[in-house]
Amino acid sequence: MGRHGTIAGRKASQDNKRAALFTKYTRAIMMAAKSGGDPEYNASLKNAIEKAKAINLPNDKITRAIKKGTGELEGESYETITFEGYGPSGVAVVVDVLTDNKNRTTSAVKHAFDKNGGNMGVPGCVSYMFERKGVILIEKADNIDEDTLMEAALDAGAEDMIVDEELFEIRTSTDDFLAVADALRSAGYLLAEADVEQVPNIGAEPKSDSEKNALIRLIDMLEENDDVQKVYTNCSASLE
């Protein structure tokens, strides 16, 4: 009986996590669809749909989420809100949410800041440290030549390409984002991520391991909230 209970408990936990992922990706599709319901002309929507399919979100739920985002289908009334604040060591944090209950979400976000050594601020308190950019991520592979990729990206209108151990990160202006993403897909590159994001232009680092761990806990707590779509920081240190 004890073993059965353990298995049942594990399955319930997995089901809950799956349901939470479905909720988060459904909302991500709705949020992206606000900028247009055709994924061929909306790279953020295309990326959100691809992520949703990767976790086996049913096609009918994807279609309904798109229609809710574009306003074709009535349903819950969601609003997009951005919260700003400071994490441990004054690291800037920006939180994008999609919620049907502003008071509930505001309380949850504030609690996450307070519990992990940060404080939620007023709109504009840290957003000046970020700039909206198109960000395209391509995983490194033996068949991808760095120079060829960079040339293709720059020719399509990209501003820069950053290379790390596992990824090529291509940055664009918001105006050129869609064209660059489409050009790279047409050239045969598989995009691991493609979205318009808040890219920091001023960096900061935790002053100690304990504050770094508190920052990680803050980010984790925010990302576990179904209403939270994206969490951005200007932390220049690795949070692995």
- CA–CA dist 207, 131 (Å, integer): 24
Calculate the CA 57 to chain-centre distance. 17
pLDDT beyond 60 at 26: yes
Percent of the chain with pLDDT over 70: 92
Average pLDDT of the chain to the nearest whole number: 88
pTM for the structure as a whole: 0.78
pLDDT beyond 60 at 18: yes
pLDDT at 184: 96
pLDDT at 226: 87
In this prediction, residues 128-152 reach a mean pLDDT of 96
Confidence band, pLDDT 50/70/90 cuts, at residue 235: very high
pLDDT beyond 50 at 12: no
Of 3.40.50.920, 3.90.870.10, 3.30.70.980, 3.90.1150.10, which CATH number belongs to 77-240? 3.30.70.980
pLDDT at 7: 33
* Residues 195-217: tens digit of each pLDDT: 889 999 999 999 999 999 999 99
DSSP string, 121-159: --TTTTGGGEEEEEEEEEE--TT--HHHHHHHHHHHT--
Confidence band, pLDDT 50/70/90 cuts, at residue 89: very high
- CA–CA dist 187, 112 (Å, integer): 43
Q: Is the separation of the CB atoms in 144 and 190 below 8 Å?
A: no
Which residues make Cβ contacts (< 8 Å) with residue 38, sequence separation at least 6?
45
Confidence band, pLDDT 50/70/90 cuts, at residue 240: confident
Say which residue, 63 or 12, is predicted with more confidence: 63
Q: Is the separation of the CB atoms in 100 and 31 below 8 Å?
A: no
3-state secondary structure of 106: helix
pLDDT beyond 50 at 9: no
Look at residues 56, 43, 77 and name the one whose alpha carbon lies nearest to residue 196: 43
For domain 2-70, the question of CATH label 1.10.10.200 is answered with yes
The H or E element that residue 21 is part of is: helix 2-33
Percent of the chain with pLDDT over 90: 63
CB count in 10 Å sphere of residue 225: 20
DSSP string, 194-207: EEEEEEESS-B--S
pLDDT beyond 90 at 51: no
pLDDT at 160: 95
CA distances to 1, 116, 178, 189 from 193, rounded to whole Å, are 45, 29, 13, 12
- Are 2-70 and 77-240 the same fold in CATH? no
3-state secondary structure of 172: strand
For the chain, give every domain's residue range. Answer: 2-70, 77-240
DSSP string, 38-88: -GGG-HHHHHHHHHHHHTT--HHHHHHHHHHHHTSS-----EEEEEEEE-G
